[in-house]
Amino acid sequence: MHVSKAFIQERDTDDEDDELPQQRVPVGAKNYMTPAGYARLRAELMHLIDEERPRVVETVAWAASNGDRSENGDYLYGKKRLREIDRRIRFLTKRLERAEVVDPSVHHGKDQVFFGATVTYARADGSEETVTILGIDEADSSRGQISWISPVAQALLKARVGDEVRLVTPAGVQTLDILAVHYPAPGAMAGG
């Protein structure tokens, strides 16, 4: 018996779990985000909804009108891309609904570490590192940005310049000396 592919429902098995483990917001925690991070996610969501998805839907409709879908690369790729876009739209929608926008500039001039701080610390071996503590969805380690849920950020939060904090790592406990804490000036993060 031959069943036409047109009658087989395609299932998107990833519906329930649109997040990677490192992207999960801890249970009961808020999804902290800077105004610039929120704006970037919202802009991506609007681009997907208003531009990308309609363009792919149009391509899929055109490809479907060309006949046999089973060997139609435009149709198959378009359907796959549509599932990816829909998954990303769901992910972004959930993240933005749970977002707690925090403007780090309210702490400008303070020496205590809160969300949005740029912190310079020294390790016991004398090496120094500077990191900025941001939201899960906006941190980029290649730019010295870490998520507020990372072990380093958790060790630094609420400490002040001059404090020593303990960072528990698989290799043992490290001591970090807080050397400097900076926040953006009011209005500096608005544009991203």
Question: What domains lie within the chain, and their CATH numbers?
Answer: 31-101 (1.10.287.180), 104-182 (3.10.50.30)
H helices present in 73-138, as ranges: 73-98
Ordered per-residue pLDDT tens for the chain, 192 residues: 444 444 444 444 444 445 555 567 777 778 899 999 999 999 999 999 999 999 999 988 888 888 777 777 888 899 999 999 999 999 999 999 999 999 999 999 999 999 999 999 999 999 999 999 999 999 999 999 999 999 999 999 999 999 999 999 898 999 999 999 999 988 765 444
Choose among 138, 133, 136: nearest CA to 158.
133
pTM value is 0.76
How many CA atoms lie within 13 Å of 29's alpha carbon, on the beta-carbon side? Answer: 12
Choose among 129, 130, 124, 126: nearest CA to 164.
124
Sign, CA dihedral 105-107-108-111, equals negative
